[in-house]
Amino acid sequence: VNLMKYKLLGKSGLRVSEIVLGSMTIGNAWGWGSDKEDSKKIFDLYVNSGGNFIDTACNYQDGISEQYIGEFIKGDRDRYVIATKYTLHDHRYKDDPNAGGNHRKNLIRSIENSLKNLDVDYIDVLYLHAWDYMTQIEEVMRSLNDLVSSTKVNYIAISDTPAWVTATANTIADLRGWEPFIAYQFPYHIARRDAEREIMPMARKFDLAMTTWGVLGGGLFTGKYTKQE
């Protein structure tokens, strides 16, 4: 039964289900998360309810999240809108200072690994995962634009980055004729509403889709935790 409504992602023409399947707990390489069997059950429940938007990252569960998702979508890849992320340091390269960050070298390394893990030819939405406060905004936007031109990525998005950086980035993209960010991802729940000050007004101004994480407060609002525990 299709229980989902679909919306355009920002000012793109991409149609996504209003509920996104977050995948940080797909896999259990970190000692917490879901094994493959339970992960597949979660995936099937989401898809059978009409969901088509799957959110993962190159570093979630040390790449296991992407690998499992790649197996789950195999044979029907075009049905799904796959979003992944780059930026955070790849722990497999502990001594490499360039195995993390927003710069072009890490971007190319990350996207090639993600394409391999997911076993796909392209990513629908690539998020910049977090701002590194080192790489120039122009380098980031030019590098992401080149990825879109290469057809390895369809759309770009950003998360956990200051509003002024995101606004500057999309303004530069507009002036240069480069690909702009179409979505912004941020933590938001009833006890954490600081995004309402700058992030949300900025997103509305630039017509960015707002995708949130941590909406259950890390399990706090599920009743999972009690005062006794």
- The pair of structure tokens assigned to 177 is 């004729």
* Distance (Å, whole) CA 26 – CA 32: 9
Question: Residue for token digits 């057809």?
Answer: 151
Catalytic site residue 122?
Answer: no
Determine the Cα–Cα distance for residues 73 and 43; give it in Å rounded to an integer: 10
Give the whole-angstrom CA distance, residue 103 versus residue 132: 9
| Annotated active-site residue in 46, 60, 68, 188 | 60
The Cα–Cα gap between 149 and 152 comes to 8
Backbone torsions φ then ψ of 102, nearest 5 degrees: -90, -5
As a whole number of angstroms, the distance between CA 215 and CA 116 comes to: 30
Which are the catalytic amino acids?
60
